[in-house]
Amino acid sequence: MLGRIGDGEFEDPNLRNLVAEVSIKKPKVEGKGKKTVVLIDCGAKNNIRRSLAARDLRVITVPWNYDIFKLKKFHGLVISNGPGDPKMAGKTIETVRAALSKKIPILGICLGNQILALAAGGNTKKLKFGHRGQNQPCRLVGTDKCFLTTQNHEILF
């Protein structure tokens, strides 16, 4: 859908499947742990893969529309962060719904958590105003350590 601002045209990115645009095209494997997790790449930050592999896990990163059940054996599923409307990632939602029915442990990060909610029968909607670009300091309870956390969310429920 094109609109106009002044003399320029713009496109509404919410009408595109941005996940399909940013996801990897073929699976890749990292890490050599005894336990395997599948990371569905919906636009995953590289540090997610590195952090999983650093925890003695074998990480199989797959495209957003990959049939994870072709894989021989895995112990858990991670659905990554990513851009756009989670409802546009229909194949990922179907995959996660099937994983839920098989009682596979699942973790969703940002958009991945929204996809998990949709797969479980929930709904999402875009808020008029999101929480963007504000980093929040968080103190690790019981210590003097403080971290800055990135907050780039539109809360969709």
> Which residues are known catalytic residues?
110
Q: Between the CA of residue 95 and those of 33, 51, 70, 108, 128, what are the distances in Å?
A: 24, 24, 12, 13, 29
Give the closest residue to 40 by CA, choosing from 21, 24, 61, 25. 61
Q: Between the CA of residue 155 and those of 114, 126, 137, what are the distances in Å?
A: 9, 7, 19
Q: Which letter, b or e, does each residue of 23-42 get, where b requires 16 or more Cβ atoms within 10 Å of its Cβ?
A: beeebeebbebeebbbbbbb
Distance CA 99, CA 82 (A): 20
